[in-house]
Amino acid sequence: MTERTIAVDYLARVEGEGSLKVRIHGGEVEDVALQIFEPPRFFEAFLRGRAYTEAPDITARICGICPVAYQMSSTHAMERALGMKVDGPLRELRRLLYAGEWIESHALHIYLLHAPDFLGYPDAVHLAKDHPEAVRRGLALKKTGNHLMQVLGGREIHPINVRVGGFYRTPSVDELLALRPELERALALAEETVRFAAGLEFPDVEEDYEFVALRHEHEYPMNEGEVVSNRGVHIPMSQYEDVFEEQQVPHSTALHSVRKEAGSYLVGPLARYALNFDHLGPHAQHAAKEAGLGTVVRNPYRSIVVRAVEILYACEEALRILDHYSPPPAPYVEPPSSFPASVGMAISEAPRGMLYHRYRLSPEGLIEEAKIVAPTSQNQKRIEDDLRHLIARSLSLDDAGLTGACERAVRNHDPCISCSTHFLALDIERS
């Protein structure tokens, strides 16, 4: 019997620091550990004693790639704690800001982090030497997403314009309409992106995922909806912790999430798409069908096509919002000046999947307890399952080949390690 260990000490082209360790004994995969050595930063601890109004700016700093997600989950959680309802144009502007982040984050992953895997390059700079038009398309899309965030949020990383109740300043109709030509170009680039992604070569793999995402009655989910899965979960957001739990494992500074008595599950584009296909816009649905996607995609490698479809949706949705925009009477709903001690939670759909926040507030408006569950920590256990299956069918590969295949399988899920640390290096051990 030979023992093999395969180790990737530092996974590249993922956001944050992680590694992977695999132990193989006599043709059986004994252990797969996606290790996260991103140093812990203790957000949930130092949020205590901060004013509820500070949470959107502070929690944004959990992740430079998806700060809007943190701002959206935290503002909605606080509004629930304070009994506030934010509707109308303010609600639409929040979707518009989120659309910007989806476009920016997905374009980054598709073109700069993921496509090089399919085409055999170490990075986008090398990819650009042979496929300049593809990389330029990706950068142009990314720039449009970032531009939306600049106009609405003040800047693309850690926007400054989001507050509990709405925004500090809302844009004029003219400011938004000025974005129209660029968004129309982005829509066309997104259609090309779906075709580009669909034209890549995909390993013939299907995984039996439990998909978990928000689902809303009328729209593709961003900030509102119920938590649903393809295996019967259908609960209001407020029951999230009754059904899902975080567990700590020795090899990781990230906490792993499971559905109680069921096990691992997947959040993110594949889950959102499978559970909400009917709410995609006409362009996105048409492009998905043309690209040969069913209404459910179980091949993790094809997530690159689904991300492209979501970019297209985000462009459609952004155009819809700016065409119907009329400025709200005030840039924000005034929070109540006094309130009892209260608890509020919210889930929003970050580019990588559901992001859960819960806060307990004192009557003085200070945070007494905070709980944050990032998308990648929910996916971590499910990514390990993907890896276990991959390794079992790829044992004939040499260590370098197997290591490369494992890294690719991890990148399929666009893990954001900064987020999940409270969250990955590959170490394959064969015996």
Interface region with other proteins, contact rule CB under 8 A, candidates 89-97, 250-258, 280-288, 355-363: 250-258
- Residue 364, classified by CB atoms within 10 Å of its CB into exposed (0-12), middle (13-18) or buried (19+), is exposed
Assess 253 for contact with other proteins (CB under 8 A): yes
CB of 241 to other proteins, least distance (A): 14
CB of 45 to other proteins, least distance (A): 4
State which of residues 124, 187, 314, 321 lies at the interface with other proteins (CB under 8 A).
Answer: 124
Interface region with other proteins, contact rule CB under 8 A, candidates 47-55, 173-181, 341-349, 389-397: 47-55
Interface region with other proteins, contact rule CB under 8 A, candidates 10-18, 93-101, 257-265, 391-399: 10-18
Assess 64 for contact with other proteins (CB under 8 A): yes
- Residue 341, classified by CB atoms within 10 Å of its CB into exposed (0-12), middle (13-18) or buried (19+), is exposed
Tell me which residue of 288, 268, 257, 127 sits closest to 194, measured CA to CA. Answer: 288
State which of residues 27, 28, 130, 169 lies at the interface with other proteins (CB under 8 A).
Answer: 169
Q: Which one, 119 or 125, has the nearer CB to other proteins?
A: 125
Assess 264 for contact with other proteins (CB under 8 A): no
Give the whole-angstrom CA distance, residue 91 versus residue 136.
33
Assess 54 for contact with other proteins (CB under 8 A): yes
In the structure encoding, which two tokens stand for residue 301, read together? 């490698």
The secondary element (H helix, E strand) that includes residue 4 is strand 3-8
The C-alpha R_g of the chain, in whole angstroms, comes to 21
State which of residues 5, 19, 161, 376 lies at the interface with other proteins (CB under 8 A).
Answer: 161
Per CB under 8 A, contacts with other proteins among 86-115 are: 108, 112-113
Q: Which one, 62 or 275, has the nearer CB to other proteins?
A: 62
CB of 61 to other proteins, least distance (A): 5
CB of 42 to other proteins, least distance (A): 4
What one-character-per-residue DSSP string does 371-429 give?
A: EEE-HHHHHHHHHHHHHHHHHHH-TTS-HHHHHHHHHHHHHTT--BHHHH-----EEEE
Q: Which one, 48 or 180, has the nearer CB to other proteins?
A: 48
State which of residues 89, 269, 281, 331 lies at the interface with other proteins (CB under 8 A).
Answer: 331
Assess 13 for contact with other proteins (CB under 8 A): yes
Beta strand pairing call for 226-229 and 3-8:
unpaired
In the structure encoding, which two tokens stand for residue 373, read together? 């569950």
CB of 395 to other proteins, least distance (A): 23
Largest CA distance in the chain: 73
Per CB under 8 A, contacts with other proteins among 218-247 are: 247
**Number of chain positions touching other proteins (CB under 8 A):** 68
- Residue 130, classified by CB atoms within 10 Å of its CB into exposed (0-12), middle (13-18) or buried (19+), is exposed
Chain length of the chain:
431
CB of 396 to other proteins, least distance (A): 23
Q: Which one, 156 or 386, has the nearer CB to other proteins?
A: 156
Give the whole-angstrom CA distance, residue 353 versus residue 52.
24
Give the whole-angstrom CA distance, residue 103 versus residue 315.
8
What one-character-per-residue DSSP string does 61-83 give?
A: TT-SSSHHHHHHHHHHHHHHHTT
In the structure encoding, which two tokens stand for residue 401, read together? 């080949």
Give the whole-angstrom CA distance, residue 406 versus residue 397.
11
Q: What binding mask, one character per residue, do residues 130-149 give for other proteins by CB under 8 A, x or -?
A: --x--xx--xx-xx--x---
- Give the binding site for other proteins (CB under 8 A): 10-17, 37-46, 48, 50-51, 54, 57-58, 61-65, 67, 108, 112-113, 116, 122-126, 128, 132, 135-136, 139-140, 142-143, 146, 154-158, 160-161, 163, 167-169, 247-248, 250, 253, 255, 331, 407, 418, 422
